[in-house]
Amino acid sequence: MSKLVITLLNLLVVLLLQIFPGNVSVKLNVPSEVRAGTEFNVTVILDKGDLEGFSRFQQTIPAGLTALQGSSSNADFSFGEKRVRLIWLRTPSDKEITVTYRVKIDERLKGTFMLDGKFSYIENNERKSVDIDPIAITILPSPDVDPSLIVDVNDF
């Protein structure tokens, strides 16, 4: 009987670890379609649990798009070489952090690209990271630009 109870408890622990893999998660809110020559918001929602040390969010965006600082929740925002970086030397104490920045789209672009990213942090003196599931964003061509000048975002 005791072997059965121990086996059931072990099975329960394994199932709980699969259901709740960790206490850090990241979600992106972006539009699925945007118009070339305009701007759109990228909202990053970090559910960080009790994490309070160093952390970094980074995301690569295609050429022809430019990231502009928005609401960064005390993070050091930078954009260069097609990479958005938000760095916290000490992550805010709130369990959930919302960060927003703007992306400006070159007016000559069209096509679809994938937006993903990575949130890295230190927990118990060990480096960990959470990959963000990619989201497809379609750039609709600007009606104000000559069609012969329009370039696919992946070829820009």
pLDDT tens readout for residues 5-38: 454 444 444 444 444 445 899 999 999 999 999 9
Q: Where are the beta strands (DSSP E) in the chain?
A: 25-29, 33-35, 39-47, 55-60, 65-71, 76-80, 83-88, 96-105, 109-123, 126-140, 151-152
- At 52 the pLDDT is 86
pLDDT tens, residue by residue, 65-96 = 999 999 888 899 999 999 999 999 999 989 99
Give the strand pairing for 109-123 and 55-60: antiparallel
Residues 145, 107 contacting (CB under 8 angstroms): yes
CA dihedral 6, 8, 13, 17 (to 10 degrees): 150
* HSE value, Cβ hemisphere, 13 Å, CA-based, for 7: 4
> Is this prediction's pTM over 0.75?
yes
